[in-house]
Structure 1
Amino acid sequence: MRTPTPPDNPPRPAPGALGPDALRADCASCFGLCCVALPFIASADFARNKAAGEACGNLAPDFRCGIHARLRTSGYQGCTVYDCFGAGQQVSQETFGGSDWRQAPDTAGAMFDAFPVVRHLRELLWYLTDALSQEAARPLHKKLRARFAEVEGLTRLDPARLAVLDVTAHREKVNALLLRTSELVRAPVRGRRKDRRGADLMGARLRGADLRGVSLRGAYLIAADLSGADLRQADLIGADLRDADLSGADLRGSLFLTRTQVNAARGDTATGLPPALDRPAHWS
């Protein structure tokens, strides 16, 4: 997987949250967990099928990717998009104390099971950190910090307790706060704020559209033309931006945008991004 470089001016974390670097993948400290624990399905994103628990054929003995420099041209675009939010190094170095699955094969199953659980939890931490950075959500900051502390504590559970953790229940609790955060942040935007949650906007022509304060939660924006669009204060949690054109679009101040979404889209030097996100190397 790709290890992004940090932004020039990373934002300071809000009290009770983590900075962007703490939720950034450190592949050098991970035992290639995303390349083993997760399944691949032959598609436009992956050149071949791979079962969960099976090591990718491109994984080197030192847990590095043997085709890292040519992943996209080799048919592994999905690897350049994926982000574990730092779960890989936490499971490798903290949960399993730096003992890798090759040296201790009896731990492999538990390690591979723990990885996606911690990854889901750390994704929630990303969203909570974003919420805590929003001044408009200050009335919720106490509750957001409490929920953050709870989820962060869950990432430190031992493998046995991670295996039986009900992640969905915790996600629902967090989502309730994120919805309220979204409402507070989007409320000041002038005009009628549309709700396009889950909308099918695949291939939509939205060039230059004013989408400020619009809820695009879970919207399908695959291959949509969003060039020059204003997406400030738009709620983008779960929006599918695969191959969407973000050239010149303004996503500064957008809510709950992730590296995965940005990496899956197309953009350019004129695309405005939140300070916690890097400009992907493949953008023009």
Structure 2
Amino acid sequence: MTSADPDTTLRGDCANCFGLCCVALPFAASADFAADKPAGTPCGNLATDFRCGIHERLRDRGYSGCTVYDCFGAGQKVSQITFGGRDWRRDPDTARRMFAAFPVVRHLHELLAYLTEALGLAAARPLRGETRRLLDETERLTLLSPEELTALDLDAHRGAVGDLLGRTAELVRADVPGARSRKKNRRGADLMGARLTGADLRGATLRGAYLIAADLTGADLRQADLLGADLRDARLAGADLTGALFLTQPQLNAARGDARTTLPERLTRPAHWTPAA
């Protein structure tokens, strides 16, 4: 994993997955999903070949939540490696074990994405050895048996990774002017619907902040720590996210940006974003 291309190992490959996100996970009728679905029950739109029958029309059909989700490559890992290509439809016991293992591997793969990003940050060079060790350990955990995965103390491991990522962010932000000021520490802050147009948030700590429907039009978010920040419906038109730390594709997919929004090179501009604000 550590030498592989993150674009292929840490992004979903539906062609090599048994539609696990469409079966294992629950969703409730809401603005994101048109119907209720309990965990372990196939979505009504899942075809016999494990593909989505309305993939090109998900937003039009009321399933925008599906367009936001990313398994970080856990789907193909569980389908092809953990279970050796065994189809859950052929064996109820395999289905039960696979659906229990998938969310655990998905969490581990998200941590792999963060650690891979941290490993490539020049400012965090002093932590490179520790980052490499934790990255390798996380990859090892993804290769456990289904039973070992479900028994794993995931919270403890997430805590260890979270501590390292916090120290990584501090090293990166150390050279950003004003980043250490108290007003730029908004960790876990409730900023839902906040008017932050043109705000200077460069190097800010927004880890775990609630930015749902916040107006960040034209905001400077360079080197901001966005790990776990909730960006659903946040307005990012013209915002500068260059070098934003631990920003993921699902976070971007949930937000609303445009052609002027500046993104880290490792991320892709969502297709549903407007060409211009």
TM-score (norm 1): 0.93
**Shift of the alpha carbon at 1:34?**
0.3
- Verify: 1:92 aligned to 2:82, yes or no: no
CA–CA distance in structure 1, aligned partners of residues 131 and 160 of structure 2: 10
CA–CA distance in structure 2, aligned partners of residues 17 and 123 of structure 1: 15
Output one character per residue of 1:40-87: Cα deviation in whole Å (capped at 9) or x when no partner: 111111111111000001100000101111111111111000010000
Aligned twin of 1:229: 219
Aligned twin of 2:231: 241
Q: Is the 8 A contact 2:6 2:113 kept in 1?
A: no
Output one character per residue of 1:102-152: Cα deviation in whole Å (capped at 9) or x when no partner: 123320000000100000000000110111111110000000000000000
Matching of residues 130-145 of structure 1 within 5 Å = 130-145=117-132
Aligned twin of 1:272: 262
Check 1:93–1:16 CA distance in 2 against 1; reply closer, same or farther (3 A cut): closer
Output one character per residue of 1:90-111: Cα deviation in whole Å (capped at 9) or x when no partner: 0000111111101233200000
CA–CA distance in structure 1, aligned partners of residues 19 and 208 of structure 2: 29
Gaps of 5+ in 2: none
**Shift of the alpha carbon at 1:21?**
2.7
- Verify: 1:177 aligned to 2:164, yes or no: yes
CA–CA distance in structure 2, aligned partners of residues 184 and 106 of structure 1: 47
CA–CA distance in structure 1, aligned partners of residues 169 and 3 of structure 2: 19
Q: Number of matched residues?
A: 271
CA–CA distance in structure 2, aligned partners of residues 176 and 154 of structure 1: 18
1:56 to 37, 43, 49: 43
**Shift of the alpha carbon at 1:192?**
4.9
- Verify: 1:102 aligned to 2:89, yes or no: yes
Query: For residue 191 of structure 2, what is the amino acid of its counterpart?
Result: L
Output one character per residue of 1:152-203: Cα deviation in whole Å (capped at 9) or x when no partner: 0100111111110111110001011001001101111112531000111111
CA–CA distance in structure 2, aligned partners of residues 231 and 68 of structure 1: 32
**Shift of the alpha carbon at 1:254?**
0.4
**Shift of the alpha carbon at 1:268?**
0.9
Q: Is the 8 A contact 2:115 2:135 kept in 1?
A: yes
Aligned twin of 2:210: 220
Identity among equivalent positions (%) equals 70
Structure 1 runs (4+) greater than 3 angstroms displaced: 15-18
**Shift of the alpha carbon at 1:208?**
1.2
SS in 1 for 2:160: helix
- Verify: 1:82 aligned to 2:74, yes or no: no
- Verify: 1:29 aligned to 2:19, yes or no: no
Output one character per residue of 1:204-239: Cα deviation in whole Å (capped at 9) or x when no partner: 111111110000011111111111111011000010
Q: Is the 8 A contact 1:17 1:132 kept in 2?
A: no
2:30 to 20, 43, 64: 43
Query: For residue 232 of structure 1, what is the amino acid of its counterpart?
Result: R
2:198 to 208, 220, 234: 208
Which shows bigger deviation, 111-120 or 40-49? 40-49
Q: Is the 8 A contact 1:228 1:249 kept in 2?
A: yes
